[in-house]
Structure 1
């Protein structure tokens, strides 16, 4: 079965064609990603209106280019899949409407996909990762720990109670005037910094459970920066290194609790998957590698271009769900859409769905 996937939930316009072969393995036949970094850089973050307009301008051309790269016509497709949420609602609508129209025009099924499920199943794009595994989903909009027991079977063990980690990195970079995107900029500056110069807080360390909180760490960094203003280049590097060290210590503590819980439930050595854009951070990868090595487990991180938002994971999630004969979701755009929709919301909910 062959799917064309569309991803427009934030600031990347992405299209991919993925085929599931007779052995159940993924074959990526073509994929394209158009980044909008230059469009949003002057504002220090993603502007939803600009992102949605860029998707409108470029999506049709990317679909054509991806089909041409794969040497396929629309009639060679078995289904169309598109992110239906969570994400910036304007961008989600662009991909959803385009995908539905295309599927209707060529007479194939349309499969709405949860963006988070795309990340959850993304390691299975490039290698054999059997269920169950522990997922650390860390991106600009989400920081979660989930137990992945199978396709469509997700149990949330931890989530952020305020800022997502990627958001904290971006706001740190904006405060220190490092530019956008913030994560890579902070990581680069941290390489020449002294991580022990500033003692920043370790949110929720030692507390029961696996939840995260980064708002207090972000505030502490701002107060420290104001205290040492005007900032020299070395002080900025030291702040970045200290921030990154606190993040690593926090992840180590929270993830250790999750791994203990996973080992209590399953007898096999744990498999830890990290997905999402922030999973590309080398310091965070080192923390996760140390944790899993101490438990004789296995760390799986998709290639960098499949950690960030991409359409291959959307097409693959659709194919995985179809192979498992799971019901298709309603084709409606959702700004919030937790994977574990049946769980009690951590912070309540509103018209848009659970806040966390």
Structure 2
């Protein structure tokens, strides 16, 4: 079963063709990083306009690169939310029109489910059940996953998401956007023990997160050292990143212990972070756990992950009507359980 998938929730216009939910026939991503870099973050109006410019050529390239004709498609899957509503509507409206023109179903999917399903685009996916840490620019959550579309929310951030904290700290340091990549690079040159930033656990035996205090701690340090030299800048990046990684690692490993899971996963844009991957990998190895994370190209926003979850939603019988709309705020699928 071949599904054309479309993603436009933020600042990437992406399209992919995915077969049977796991085999990626093509994946095309048009990034807007250069557009938003000068502003230190995503400008919603600019993002929407760039999606309008890119959506047709990106979808055309995805279908052509897959080596198929559009008549061979069985369905279209598209991100319905959450995200920037103007950006979402570009891909969402185009997907409905594309499917209607071909006379095939269009499936709307949750962007967070897409990230959760990105783990199944590789050769060694986790076995059910497993515990997944979803970390991105707008989301930081822990899930107990028992099936392709069955999740139990264990914990989530009470304020800043991890990716958001990275972007804000990067802006404080004058490093620009996107912050995650820049700070990760600088941190490799710094000493993570040189500056002892707090570890915001809230409660070591609970699963919620909070990173606003850590962000404030970096701000206070910069008040004391307003013009950090190169060495201090590297140490600030390393200290901040070490604090983030320790908290994420502790919560994930503890959640796996509570749920008696042998498999753990980290998904989302921050899953590409070198320190998070290394620390979780080491902790998992010491405890005999199987650690899974997507290929780097599937960590950030992409359409292949939308095709992966779209396949399962299509099999379940999900389909959009022409009057269905996108949604901007995060909401969990209807069959997601709350702890």
The TM-score bracket by the shorter chain reads over 0.9
Alignment deviations for residues 195-237 of structure 1 (CA, whole Å, 9 cap, x no partner): 2222211112544311110000000101101101221111111
Structure 1 CA distance for aligned equivalents of residues 338 and 174 of structure 2? 35
Higher relative contact order (CA 8 A, sep 6+): 2
TM-score, normalised to structure 1's length? Answer: 0.90
Q: Is 1:78 matched up with 2:70? A: no
TM-score, normalised to structure 2's length? Answer: 0.94
Matches within 5 A, 1:49-64: 49-64=45-60
Q: Which runs of 5+ in 1 are unaligned?
A: 264-268, 347-356
- The alpha-carbon deviation at position 294 of structure 1 amounts to 2.4
| Stretch deviating more after TM superposition (137-146 or 288-297) | 288-297
Matches within 5 A, 1:96-115: 96-115=92-111
Distance 1:321 1:172, change over 3 A: same
Aligned length: 336
1:353 match = none
* Conserved 8 A contact 1:271-1:299: yes
Matches within 5 A, 1:9-88: 9-20=9-20, 26-88=22-84
Q: Is 1:336 matched up with 2:329? A: yes
* Conserved 8 A contact 1:248-1:287: yes
Structure 2 CA distance for aligned equivalents of residues 131 and 343 of structure 1? 15
- The alpha-carbon deviation at position 73 of structure 1 amounts to 2.2
Distance 1:342 1:104, change over 3 A: closer
Structure 1 CA distance for aligned equivalents of residues 140 and 89 of structure 2? 24
- The alpha-carbon deviation at position 341 of structure 1 amounts to 5.2
Q: Which runs of 5+ in 2 are unaligned?
A: none
Cα RMSD after superposing both structures: 1.8
State the SS of the aligned residue for 1:178. coil
- The alpha-carbon deviation at position 322 of structure 1 amounts to 2.7
1:300 match = 292
* Conserved 8 A contact 1:273-1:300: yes
Which 4+ stretches in 1 moved above 4 angstroms?
A: 340-346
State the SS of the aligned residue for 2:17. strand
Structure 1 CA distance for aligned equivalents of residues 62 and 285 of structure 2? 39
Structure 2 CA distance for aligned equivalents of residues 153 and 241 of structure 1? 36
* Conserved 8 A contact 1:205-1:250: no
